[in-house]
Amino acid sequence: MNAQELRTKYIEFFKSKDHAQIQGKSLIPDNDPTVLFTTAGMHPLVPYLLGEEHPAGKRLVDYQRCIRTGDIDSVGDASHLTFFEMLGNWSLGDYFKEGAIKMSFEFLTSPQWLGIPVEKIGVTVFEGDAAVPRDDESAAVWRSLGIPPERIRYRPREDNWWGPAGATGPCGPDSEMFYDIGREPCGPDCGPGCPCGKWLEIWNDVFMQYNKVAVSADGSGGTYEPLARTCVDTGMGIERTVTILNGKTSVYDTEIFAPIIAAVERAIGESGRDYAYGGDPEQDRSVRIICDHIRSAAFILGDPKGVSPSNVGAGYVLRRLIRRAVRHGRKLGITGKVLSPAARAVVEEFRLPYPELAENQDLIIQELDREEEKFLETLHKGEQEFAKLLPGLLKDPQKRMSGRLAFKLYDTYGFPIELTEELAAEQGIGVNRAEFSQAFEEHQELSRSGSGQVFKGGLGDQGEMAVKYHTATHLLHQALRLVLGDRVAQKGSNITADRMRFDFSHDAPLSAGDLRRVEGLVNEQIRRDLPVRMAVMTLEEAKDSGAIALFGEKYESQVKVYAIGDFSKEVCGGPHVEHTGILGTFKIQKEQSSSAGIRRIRAVLE
């Protein structure tokens, strides 16, 4: 079964169980300062898991593209990925543990669907602690379906608990499903959830059952109350599941990566080297890194809210992925372009489920080629600077390069520490990596404090001030359109409890007069204390009513439309304040360029 067949079967199965298919969302989250990318299938649905009504109903199913960068240095082994796809089904106050588990079991084991033998499946459930009892309910359901007790393992909070988005809020136990890949057990206690590699996790059912309250000032402790409205969210990784269904041991050995690997092989062959994937572990690792990183980069660049390579935020992550891929291409001896041939294979492979890739192919290739050329210049300059340092390093009796000096090459010339280490090793010189790491950490702390953002992982703020700022973005958007013209369109926003950041399409800086007019229009609507009303309608009805919808965004057939008096009307998921008079005074702090053709406003509510 290939990835497209898995996507199709999953959607068909849950549609047969009365789930409405919804559209996966952008890789670039709106109004969430805690993460740079959409990190899980549940991420875009958090407002609905926290109580918002979804226009498509209480049973939902989708597939979602995701990026996680925490394990970027592990990419290149058999399983780690930066970009991945999640299948998910959702119950918003409808079915709960028994319904979710029985549907999961049916999809996994029924010959009509995945047909995995029951004896290959094991599960884990929450073992309970002093605050919350163990999840015997889920265990009982699994036993009733034929999973024997020895393949049902109780696991602690760090393994089988989904915490609240903040210090308090909805949370609950989860039940994870594992596939036995056939290895010998590592010992008598080996079972589902064991990290030895025998059991591979493929699906996770999360049960939002409790509300965490009464947390102490330091964030510890807390008590749990049962939720009146329980929810389920689930996640199944496409790449891992396809690996299992095809009897493979690595995600890179599936049809998902075959055309991308073939493109890299061709680039190596055109450079005059004889290479076939699967013959040399170290070279194969470099090929896997290139494939993963270019797949990630193509999806980031091709996203409707795509970002460009830069030195901050999501753009910095994108640049790091691209440069790491180029470096491994050079390690493989590729003398021509590394990135664009692999990117074209990515676009061709995913054009059906993600048509925006094909629509934006020219942009993807253009950005990758430009970034590759810039980085090759960086590599050349860095190598020249290293050559200048070399005589002094060779005179050092300890034959050791300081980490501070290595960091200077990185910070000033963008020269990767790995390349510095390789060049130094060729001369019998070591590099103080610990000192480099310390300098790098200090640099990151300085960058974070300077930008006012700390990306900690987690989910969007639903607090009072964040909701006020979210409402204010609607007023700002309409004010900009009135002052600058209807061609202005929102290109992203980022909200914390302390400020808002709003990106919009415009090709020139705003004059002081324009900024005063925009600020004045927003404050006028706040003084008018306009009501904020929500209606659910079809997307066509929303557009016919004059509502603004974000360009390139994917919407469900039924959408929420928020009208702020007679001033603003937008398609939006919420939440918002009930009337504008409580927002305070709107103050623009800064207006600047974000990228080509995109301006950025930072503002506060005082």
Per residue in 517-556, pLDDT (tens digit) is 999 999 999 999 999 999 989 888 998 999 988 755 677 7
DSSP for residue 143: H
Distance CA 482, CA 304 (A): 24
Q: Worst-scoring range by mean pLDDT, 15-24, 81-90, 175-184, 532-541?
A: 532-541
How much is the mean pLDDT over the chain?
A: 89
pLDDT in tens, 372-431: 998 888 888 888 999 999 999 999 888 999 998 999 888 777 787 877 887 899 899 999
pLDDT at 598: 87
User: Model pTM?
Assistant: 0.74
pLDDT at 459: 30
CA nearest neighbour of 432 among 423, 443, 442, 421 = 421
pLDDT at 213: 83
CA nearest neighbour of 124 among 205, 214, 21 = 205
pLDDT of 234 > 60? The answer is yes
- pLDDT > 90: what percent of the chain? 61
Question: Which has more confidence, 289 or 170?
Answer: 289
pLDDT of 96 > 70? The answer is yes
CA nearest neighbour of 173 among 205, 140, 126 = 126
pLDDT in tens, 27-86: 988 766 667 888 888 878 878 887 888 999 999 999 999 998 877 878 888 888 999 999
pLDDT in tens, 438-496: 888 776 655 444 333 333 322 345 568 888 998 999 999 999 999 999 989 888 888 87
pLDDT at 32: 65
pLDDT of 324 > 50? The answer is yes
Distance CA 359, CA 299 (A): 12
Looking at domain 3-245, which CATH architecture does it have?
2-Layer Sandwich (3.30)
Question: Which has more confidence, 506 or 459?
Answer: 506
pLDDT in tens, 237-288: 999 999 999 999 899 999 999 999 999 999 999 998 888 999 899 999 999 9
Distance CA 52, CA 70 (A): 30
Angle at 230 (CA atoms; ends 209, 223), nearest 5 degrees: 30
- Segments of 108-198 assigned E as strands: 121-126, 152-155, 161-162, 169-180
Domain with CATH 3.30.980.10 in the chain: 464-605
According to CATH, what is the number of the domain 464-605? 3.30.980.10
> For residue 456, what are its two tokens?
């900690």
- pLDDT > 70: what percent of the chain? 93
DSSP for residue 52: P
Domain with CATH 3.30.930.10 in the chain: 3-245
Residues 6+ apart with CB under 8 A from 16: none
Distance CA 92, CA 53 (A): 8
Q: Worst-scoring range by mean pLDDT, 346-350, 468-472, 557-561?
A: 557-561
> For residue 472, what are its two tokens?
């204010």
Contact (CB, 8 A) for 490 and 472: no
pLDDT at 493: 83
Question: Which has more confidence, 74 or 218?
Answer: 74
The HSE-up count of residue 185 (CA atoms within 13 Å, CB side) is: 10
Helix (H) or strand (E) holding 49: helix 46-49
pLDDT at 34: 65
Residues 6+ apart with CB under 8 A from 503: 490, 491, 492, 493, 594, 598, 599, 600
Distance CA 247, CA 119 (A): 16
CA nearest neighbour of 254 among 11, 62, 71, 84 = 84
